[in-house]
């Protein structure tokens, strides 16, 4: 299934990976700070990104339905819904932000359910409380998104802050990974020396 021969087997390319990870990490950290400082614009950008993904997904779904089974009305319905919702979100951006907030609330509710279920299944073993804690925080975020759903400004602020913090942590993670790869790349290979 996975072609492991494509993975780098030579430590000479690690500095290049490190460099790219660091550059992308710094860009994501900057975007994260901008997202936190300007949450409304970040939420509108995130909504537009999701809307275009839905439109693209609808086009791909329509193409696959056309190629595989032209009479599949469920495939055509999925295509119309994806494209319709994506276009609607672009035409009415404030409603699109509300839609994105509702989608995030549903996601956090599902994540809370999964966290509580995994925590209860793992209860006798160590670490069960981490899953329950994850479920609690996900439930808290879902409640916050549902409460703020009546206010577009609060919803936009929440989505912008959430996306900004996510980009910030992704950037920090990439910078740390880049540093680790750089250290690995600087280790001399003692296995070839005799």
Token pair for 66: 């056309």
Write the pLDDT tens digit of every residue in 147-173: 887 787 888 888 888 888 888 888 888
Encode 65-128 in three state secondary structure: HHHHCCCCHHHHHHHHHHHHHHHHHHHCHHHHHHHHHHHHHHHHHHHHHHHHHHHHHCCCCCCH
Instruction: Report yes or no on 194 lying in a domain.
Output: no
Give the residue numbers spanning the domain of 147. 18-184
Predicted confidence (pLDDT) at residue 71 exceeds the cutoff of 80:
yes
Instruction: Report yes or no on 68 lying in a domain.
Output: yes
Instruction: Report yes or no on 13 lying in a domain.
Output: no
Output the pTM of the full model. Answer: 0.67
Dist CA 40 CA 92 (whole Å): 15
What pLDDT shows up at residue 2?
Answer: 41
Instruction: Report yes or no on 189 lying in a domain.
Output: no
Closest CA to 181 of 65, 8, 62: 8
Task: Please state the rounded mean pLDDT for residues 47-55.
Answer: 92
Cα pseudo-dihedral 57, 157, 149, 82, rounded to 10? -10
CA distances 53 to 39, 113, 178, Å, are: 21, 27, 29
Write the pLDDT tens digit of every residue in 87-119: 998 999 888 888 888 888 888 899 889 888 887
127: left (phi over 0), alpha (psi -120 to 50) or beta: left
Half-sphere exposure of 102 (CA within 13 A, CB side): 10
**Percentages (nearest 5) of helix, strand, coil residues in the chain:** 85, 0, 15
Number of structural domains (the chain) is 1
Instruction: Report yes or no on 85 lying in a domain.
Output: yes
Instruction: Report yes or no on 41 lying in a domain.
Output: yes
Instruction: Report yes or no on 62 lying in a domain.
Output: yes
Predicted confidence (pLDDT) at residue 5 exceeds the cutoff of 60:
no
Instruction: Report yes or no on 6 lying in a domain.
Output: no
């Amino acid at each position: 299934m996975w072609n492991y021969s494509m993975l780098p087997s030579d430590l000479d390319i690690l500095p290049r990976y490190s460099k790219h990870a660091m550059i992308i990490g710094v860009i994501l950290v900057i975007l994260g700070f901008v997202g936190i400082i300007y949450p409304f614009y970040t939420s509108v950008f995130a909504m537009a990104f999701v809307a275009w993904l839905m439109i693209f997904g609808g086009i791909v779904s329509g193409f696959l339905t056309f190629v595989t089974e032209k009479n599949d009305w469920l495939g055509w319905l999925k295509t119309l819904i994806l494209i319709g919702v994506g276009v609607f979100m672009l035409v009415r951006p404030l409603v699109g932000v509300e839609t994105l907030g509702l989608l995030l609330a549903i996601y956090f509710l599902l994540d809370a359910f999964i966290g509580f279920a995994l925590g209860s299944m793992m209860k006798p073993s160590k670490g069960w409380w981490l899953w329950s804690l994850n479920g609690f925080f996900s439930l808290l975020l879902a409640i916050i998104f549902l409460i703020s759903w009546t206010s577009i400004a609060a919803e936009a602020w929440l989505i912008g802050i959430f996306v900004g913090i996510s980009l910030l942590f992704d950037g920090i993670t990439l910078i740390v990974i880049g540093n680790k790869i750089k250290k690995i790349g600087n280790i001399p290979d003692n296995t070839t020396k005799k």
